[in-house]
């Protein structure tokens, strides 16, 4: 169950914008707006851009038949994420989908790597929006706020949540790991990371710096790989660390996959872990319990994040008057001490 649930308050839209409102702002007819939404190739690029600006400014949500100047109730739930292949997101999605099966609605996943994802989001006329380990840029966040669309944010703790924020206590996750390592006598502590969600990465870094500085330990031993998280990225980071730092007490990887990749590479190099140096991970993935040596890690409740987010969304959508709510549900992490 959640360890920390902040008070809930409802946010209602100030009024749904209509097709006529968009047409009036863009200075065109309603049929032109409908055509730009339904078959954009039939409208000039300059006019499409003008209509799109009006749609975004008014937070207009075209529904399934507004494209034909009618009205309908949306059956779409749109998930925004920067990756559908990462192990962490896969675990969250699996339990999220399981909870949402009770709804007769379509799940649509949009990759934020596509620069036009907001236009796609608007055209899908979402009944609800879910961000998965992704922080909305300001313009997109403003559109969601104005539209009043139900929003669930999964992953990092949001300072100004757009809806229900189901997150982990990232600060204590890093803090607990570092205090454990320092208590074991480690002083040369290196942080290694790869491409991942920027919001939660920044929170990990903030906790890393504040915790080590408070203990008078150098917080600047850090290496980053621009490639996605994988075993091979972990192996590369280990080699880079050995070349860059030489002597090190412990390597902290911001992913169990990276840490296990480093363990595999250390074994290939005939290095003895933890005798030569220690390796720890983050995530509590299954692979961490079967690696050799078994990996010390921080367990992140990925499945529970998806379950709670799904339950909350079902609760909102099945209410008599669905309305967006602001709430932060922060789940605890757990240090798992093993052999590495």
Asked, for residue 339, whether it belongs to a domain, the answer is no
Judge contact between 134 and 82, C-beta under 8 A: yes
- For residues 159 and 174, state if they share a domain: no
Judge contact between 86 and 257, C-beta under 8 A: no
The per-residue pLDDT for 181 is 96
Average pLDDT rounded to a whole number, residues 333-340: 93
The per-residue pLDDT for 13 is 41
- For residues 20 and 94, state if they share a domain: yes
Average pLDDT rounded to a whole number, residues 81-101: 90
Considering only residues 266 and 144, tell me which one the structure prediction assigns the higher pLDDT: 266
Q: How far apart are CA 110 and CA 17, in angstroms?
A: 24
- For residues 74 and 158, state if they share a domain: yes
How confident is the model over 31-67, as pLDDT tens digits? 677 767 766 766 677 888 888 888 878 778 765 444 4
Asked, for residue 152, whether it belongs to a domain, the answer is yes
The per-residue pLDDT for 1 is 45
- For residues 150 and 177, state if they share a domain: no
Task: Give the DSSP letter of residue 28.
Answer: S
- For residues 96 and 20, state if they share a domain: yes
Which tokens hold the place of 150?
């139900």
Asked, for residue 340, whether it belongs to a domain, the answer is no
Residue 335: CB atoms within 10 A of its CB come to 16
How many Å from the N-terminal Cα to the C-terminal Cα in the chain? 30
- For residues 8 and 137, state if they share a domain: yes
- For residues 139 and 118, state if they share a domain: yes
The per-residue pLDDT for 55 is 82
- For residues 20 and 98, state if they share a domain: yes
Q: What Å distances lie between residue 223 and 231, 234, 239, 328, CA to CA?
A: 16, 11, 11, 32
Element (H, E) at 226: strand 222-228
Expressed as residue numbers, the domain containing 48 is 4-168+303-332
Asked, for residue 337, whether it belongs to a domain, the answer is no
- For residues 309 and 253, state if they share a domain: no
Coil, strand or helix: which one is 125?
A: coil
- For residues 250 and 323, state if they share a domain: no
Domain tally, the chain: 2
How confident is the model over 146-160, as pLDDT tens digits? 888 899 999 988 888
Judge contact between 308 and 93, C-beta under 8 A: no
Residue 254: CB atoms within 10 A of its CB come to 23
Q: How far apart are CA 86 and CA 83, in angstroms?
A: 6
- For residues 201 and 57, state if they share a domain: no
The pTM of the full predicted model, rounded to 2 decimals, is 0.78
- For residues 76 and 223, state if they share a domain: no
Pairing verdict, β 76-81 and 128-132: parallel
| CATH number of the structural domain spanning residue 14 | 3.40.50.2300
Asked, for residue 38, whether it belongs to a domain, the answer is yes
Coil, strand or helix: which one is 69?
A: coil
Q: What Å distances lie between residue 72 and 66, 82, 178, CA to CA?
A: 7, 30, 53
How confident is the model over 94-124, as pLDDT tens digits? 999 999 998 888 898 988 887 778 888 887 8
Asked, for residue 127, whether it belongs to a domain, the answer is yes
């Amino acid at each position: 169950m959640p360890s920390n649930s902040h008070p809930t308050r409802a946010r209602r839209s100030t009024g749904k914008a209509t097709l006529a409102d968009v047409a009036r702002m863009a200075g065109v007819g309603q049929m032109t707006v409908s055509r730009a939404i339904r078959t954009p190739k039939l409208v000039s690029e300059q006019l499409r851009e003008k209509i799109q600006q009006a749609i975004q400014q008014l937070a207009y949500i075209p529904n399934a038949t507004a494209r034909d100047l009618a009205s309908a109730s949306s059956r779409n739930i749109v998930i925004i994420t920067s990756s559908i292949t990462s192990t962490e997101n896969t675990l969250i999605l699996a339990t999220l989908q399981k909870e949402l099966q009770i709804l007769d609605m379509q799940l649509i996943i949009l990759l934020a790597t596509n620069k036009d994802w907001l236009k796609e989001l608007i055209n899908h006329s979402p009944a609800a929006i879910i961000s998965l380990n992704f922080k909305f840029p300001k313009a997109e966040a403003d559109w969601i706020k104005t539209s009043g669309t139900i929003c669930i944010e999964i992953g990092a703790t949001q300072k100004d949540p757009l809806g229900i924020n189901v997150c982990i206590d990232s600060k204590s996750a890093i803090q607990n790991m570092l205090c454990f390592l320092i208590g074991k006598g480690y002083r040369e502590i290196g942080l290694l990371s790869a491409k991942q969600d920027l919001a939660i990465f920044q929170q990990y870094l903030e906790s890393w710096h504040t915790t080590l500085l408070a203990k008078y330990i150098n917080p600047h031993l850090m290496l980053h790989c621009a490639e996605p998280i994988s075993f091979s990225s972990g192996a590369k980071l280990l080699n880079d660390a050995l070349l860059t730092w030489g002597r090190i007490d412990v390597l902290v990887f911001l992913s169990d996959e990276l840490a296990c990749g480093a363990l595999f590479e250390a074994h290939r190099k005939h290095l003895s872990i933890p005798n030569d140096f220690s390796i720890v991970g983050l995530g509590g993935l299954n692979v961490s319990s079967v690696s050799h040596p078994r990996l010390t890690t921080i367990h992140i409740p990925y499945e529970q994040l998806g379950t709670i987010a799904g339950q909350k969304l079902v609760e909102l959508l099945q209410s008599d008057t669905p309305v967006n709510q602001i709430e932060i549900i922060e789940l605890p992490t757990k240090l798992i001490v093993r052999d590495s």
